[in-house]
Structure 1
């Protein structure tokens, strides 16, 4: 998929703006999370910002998926359920992939928009220090 297809794909305007601001307007590819099983876009999300990982579970069909390279560190992580300050725990989820000059992924930023009150925020981000990184773009 090229950048034109990715940019803002399946991401609300509010969450896209939040992720772009968090990336300090570096070149990013935005990808919204969509359940492969049912096409759902509402998720419960687990994050561990210390280990740099996140996973999601579809609210509709309960299918789970890791984001980016999270599966690689999940066993060492202590993920907690993401929660909005309003108490909501169901989210629209998206990932911003910050890119280097050669197009490799350098940072992964997980953003969530609460489905109860619409508040958006960054819940986890981590640096990628290896290559190649193309596989990360498919793990949303």
Structure 2
């Protein structure tokens, strides 16, 4: 891990480690997904790994939320439901924000950890080429 990495409370060590090793050598901030409606932490996730977009659906209450700036391109996206090789479609979800020297977000990486077998993977990532970017940290 980079000396300047930040892992917010609620991200499992396994998913944090996986996301950190998937990133470049820039510092990252890793933020867990938490349902705004019920506080749930298990999600089904729709991803478009070509366009770089994701939407999460709470397994507890069904509340939906876009990840980071995904809503802006969702109309052009062709999402599919994320699935683990074990067959499960429910995940712990976290986002790694790769940070530039000035602290702005340069990359968004969506990591999922299967609730059934613990397998972790990167399901979507995309470049951020605008600023300011602080609002993205609250959109996980």
TM-score by length of 1: 0.94
CA contact (8 A) 2:49 2:124 kept: yes
Query: Considering only aligned residues, what root-mean-square deviation do their CA atoms show, in Å?
Result: 1.2
Where does residue 36 of structure 1 map in the other structure? Answer: 36
Where does residue 120 of structure 1 map in the other structure? Answer: 120
CA contact (8 A) 2:7 2:16 kept: no
- Residues 49-87 of structure 1 show CA distances to partners (whole Å, capped at 9, x for unaligned) of 111100100000000000000000000000000001111
**Pair 120,85 (structure 1): closer, same or farther in 2 beyond 3 Å:** same
Where does residue 132 of structure 1 map in the other structure? Answer: 132
CA distance in 2, matches of 1:13, 1:31: 12
Instruction: Tell whether 2:126 aligns with 1:109.
Output: no
CA distance in 2, matches of 1:48, 1:132: 24
SS at match of 2:62: coil
Aligned length: 136
CA contact (8 A) 1:8 1:16 kept: no
- Per-residue deviation, 1:25: 4.2
Instruction: Tell whether 2:99 aligns with 1:82.
Output: no
SS at match of 2:11: coil
Runs of 4+ in structure 1 deviating by more than 4 angstroms, as ranges, are none
SS at match of 1:9: coil
CA distance in 2, matches of 1:109, 1:69: 12
CA contact (8 A) 1:9 1:30 kept: no
Runs of 5+ unmatched residues, structure 2: none
- Per-residue deviation, 1:24: 3.2
CA distance in 2, matches of 1:39, 1:23: 28
CA distance in 1, matches of 2:98, 2:121: 17
SS at match of 2:92: strand
CA distance in 2, matches of 1:18, 1:24: 12
